[in-house]
Amino acid sequence: MSATGFNVDLRDMQFVLFEQLKVQERLAGFDKYAEFDQELYEATLQEAFRVTREVWWPVNGPGDRQGVSLDDQGNVTTPNGFKEAWDAQAEGGWVGFTAEPEWGGIGLPEPVGMAIGEMFTGSCPALSTYAGLSRGVANLLKVYGPEWIQQACIENLFTGVWGGTMCLTEAGAGSSVGDNRAKATPIEGEDGVYHLEGEKIFITGGDQDLTENIIHLVLARAPGAPNGTKGLSIFVVPKFDFEDGARNGAFVVGVEHKMGLSGSATCVLALGDRKPCRGYILGNEGDGMGIMFHMMNEARIAVGIQGLASAAAAYENALAYAKERVQGVALKDMRNPDAAPVTIVNHPDVRRMLMRMRVSVETMRSMLYGTAMRLVFSEHSADEDVRKMHHNHVELMTPICKAHCTDLGFEVCVTAVQTYGGYGYIQEYPVEQHVRDQKISSIYEGTNGIQAMDLLGRKMRKGSGALFMQWLQESGEQLSQAKESGHFADEIAQLEKAQQSLGAAAMHLGGVGAQGNLEGAMLQATPFMELFGTVILGLHALEQALIAQAALDAGASGSDERFYKGKVLNLKFYVSSFLPKAVALSKSIRSGDESCLDEALFQ
């Protein structure tokens, strides 16, 4: 461990995967994963850690300082070393790690993929954005691509030979995707081929020097299309055409200078400006938004991973620093000028900061890997009802994974800076970069405000509240079973109270909405999101503590004993230090205050 290096808590990842989710048992029955066992999973994690520590992390800081550059031909150059790190990733199969082997992937199950994603993203978030988009485009094409496009693209994307982008945003159409104005005009005599015109902004990886080709997925509006999202179609726009390899007319005309994530090229992409831009439609005209949502949902969970990954890396750095840095004497020696100074991990306020970071990271990890497990069952269970049940859960959790993990992850990064004191503010240590890189995650892939509205306005209302009812029932069962364990009675009682206060807030907001007061309800979307996330992470702390307590009861010793004891302590800390906020948020939501809507304000 080191205060300037890249550290990963493999022990905790393995606890989640093998002791909590039991992937090695519960997924063994699926043909898809039959070849894997725990040993192979562990070796895979070890190797991913090696690559990220030895190859990716060394380019993370320098890449931030150097940033990307753009020449006048629209060519983006990524920071020194990114290409080599990209190639190492590609050669190891780390682009398509969850993809099927027939598409060039390793075929790992999603929860293990989460751990790998956490490592790559944490070691160099800027570089990881390019691969995340390659995966997203490939996964979308697996479902919606005509066969010839699938054959042309998917393996190339999953093996890192090609890159991908998603092109939604325009200058006047960010959160409001339906205001897209890019035009798609059918080319006569070429079925499904269009000329695209318009300008897309904030396009991650709009150009780069890492891959041979780039597959842009572009939302645009065909002639006569209605306004709003219903009029949007989606097009595959290759940088170099599939047939003759000719340069297509999608050119980068600008790159943004950002607060962080400087090695990730955020581009202005002009379509059909310098030369004609050909695009191949997916599905039919008007299907664009529905198809793009396939990628967006996946991307939202991936952004949640970014929240976790930066937080975990920042926490590991802060922990290492706190164990190295000598400063001040122990509290009991405060009045003794000759007392020997101690490492700061001994100071209560530093331990409080470390504990907040630790508990946040470990409960987020549990939630994200757990959601990935449910994703597997939602896709591969034999029973349709079981698939549906897990699908419902994933749908409800998606905005929470995105918003809560990025907000809380940012808080962790900020706390890591604070742990370093003045050294946290300078580039010599990595934590200030974690803060800057991480900030974007609460904004892109739908701002966290949009996620909150998705949760409250869409997911909570779906099927007359069926998703939430299912969650209430499941979490109720979890709490009932926990009570039977005979452990943690106080903590379980507090969690029950918090879960009930979440239910009460949901009921209250349902009532506000039913009275037609949409604004009053939506005003509470973000606090409701935070409340929901706070309760869920508490339940994850409980789930882990129960497993740990059983291991302690069974006589765990040495470093195992310390590990399991840590999980029990996590629960106690979470309940005393995080959970009271849930009750406060519920109270705040139910107060019915709408003062900020008053028109006297913000004139």
- Contact stretch for a second copy (CB under 8 A) within 50-58, 78-86, 131-139, 428-436: 428-436
Q: Judged by CB under 8 A, which of 10, 88, 355, 479 binds a second copy? A: 355
Give the separation between CA 136 and CA 95, rounded to whole angstroms: 11
> Which two three-digit tokens encode residue 368?
């994200």
Enumerate long-range contacts of 492-500, CB under 8 Å, 24 or more apart: 492/542, 494/575, 494/579, 495/535, 495/538, 495/539, 495/542, 495/575, 495/579, 497/583, 498/534, 498/535, 498/538, 498/579, 498/582, 498/583, 499/472, 499/475, 499/535, 499/539
Give the separation between CA 430 and CA 61, rounded to whole angstroms: 7
- Contact stretch for a second copy (CB under 8 A) within 180-188, 378-386, 390-398, 525-533: 525-533
- Whichever of 149 and 453 has its CB closer to a second copy, that residue is 453
In the window 102-161, what residues touch a second copy (CB under 8 A)? Answer: none
Shortest distance in whole angstroms from residue 69 CB to a second copy: 15
Can you say whether residue 523 is alpha, beta or left, with left for phi > 0 and alpha for psi between -120 and 50 degrees? Answer: alpha
- Whichever of 18 and 425 has its CB closer to a second copy, that residue is 425
Q: Judged by CB under 8 A, which of 37, 91, 324, 593 binds a second copy? A: 593
The verdict on 469 binding a second copy (CB under 8 A) reads: no
Give the separation between CA 432 and CA 260, rounded to whole angstroms: 10
The verdict on 497 binding a second copy (CB under 8 A) reads: no
The verdict on 338 binding a second copy (CB under 8 A) reads: yes
The verdict on 515 binding a second copy (CB under 8 A) reads: no
The verdict on 597 binding a second copy (CB under 8 A) reads: yes
Give the total residue count for the chain: 603
Q: Judged by CB under 8 A, which of 195, 200, 404, 439 binds a second copy? A: 439
Closest to 272 (Cα-Cα) out of 292, 245, 253: 253
The verdict on 252 binding a second copy (CB under 8 A) reads: no
- Parallel, antiparallel, or unpaired: how do β-strands 162-167 and 213-221 relate? parallel
The verdict on 489 binding a second copy (CB under 8 A) reads: no
- How does DSSP assign 489-531, residue by residue? HHHHHHHHHHHHHHHHHHHHHHHHHHTT-HHHHHTTHHHHHHH
The verdict on 232 binding a second copy (CB under 8 A) reads: no
The verdict on 324 binding a second copy (CB under 8 A) reads: no
**Could you give the 3-state DSSP secondary structure of residue 32?**
helix
- Contact stretch for a second copy (CB under 8 A) within 6-14, 378-386, 414-422, 463-471: 414-422
Q: Judged by CB under 8 A, which of 125, 132, 231, 249 binds a second copy? A: 231
Shortest distance in whole angstroms from residue 118 CB to a second copy: 21
Q: Judged by CB under 8 A, which of 29, 226, 463, 511 binds a second copy? A: 226
Rounded to 5°, angle at Cα 597 from 593 and 598: 100
- Parallel, antiparallel, or unpaired: how do β-strands 266-271 and 250-255 relate? antiparallel
Buried b (16+ CB within 10 A) or exposed e, 304-320: bbbbbbbbbbbbbbbbb
Residue 220's DSSP bridge partners are 233
The verdict on 178 binding a second copy (CB under 8 A) reads: yes
* Candidates 445, 491, 530, 543; catalytic one: 445
Other CB atoms within 10 A of residue 437 CB: 31
The verdict on 444 binding a second copy (CB under 8 A) reads: yes
Size of interface with a second copy, in residues (CB under 8 A): 105
In the window 50-89, what residues touch a second copy (CB under 8 A)? Answer: none
Give the separation between CA 182 and CA 216, rounded to whole angstroms: 14
In the window 561-580, what residues touch a second copy (CB under 8 A)? Answer: 561-562, 565-566, 569-570, 572-573, 575-577, 580
- Parallel, antiparallel, or unpaired: how do β-strands 266-271 and 193-204 relate? antiparallel
In the window 283-322, what residues touch a second copy (CB under 8 A)? Answer: 319, 322
Question: Is 316 part of the annotated catalytic residue set?
Answer: no
- Parallel, antiparallel, or unpaired: how do β-strands 193-204 and 69-70 relate? unpaired
- Whichever of 245 and 341 has its CB closer to a second copy, that residue is 341
The verdict on 92 binding a second copy (CB under 8 A) reads: no
- Whichever of 155 and 316 has its CB closer to a second copy, that residue is 316
Shortest distance in whole angstroms from residue 70 CB to a second copy: 15
- Contact stretch for a second copy (CB under 8 A) within 40-48, 54-62, 214-222, 431-439: 431-439
The verdict on 181 binding a second copy (CB under 8 A) reads: no
In the window 527-546, what residues touch a second copy (CB under 8 A)? Answer: 527
Closest to 130 (Cα-Cα) out of 47, 206, 79, 219: 206
Amino acid at 367: M
The verdict on 253 binding a second copy (CB under 8 A) reads: no
Q: Judged by CB under 8 A, which of 169, 211, 310, 366 binds a second copy? A: 169
**Could you give the 3-state DSSP secondary structure of residue 446?**
coil
Give the separation between CA 256 and CA 169, rounded to whole angstroms: 14
- Contact stretch for a second copy (CB under 8 A) within 31-39, 81-89, 364-372, 558-566: 558-566
Catalytic residues: 445
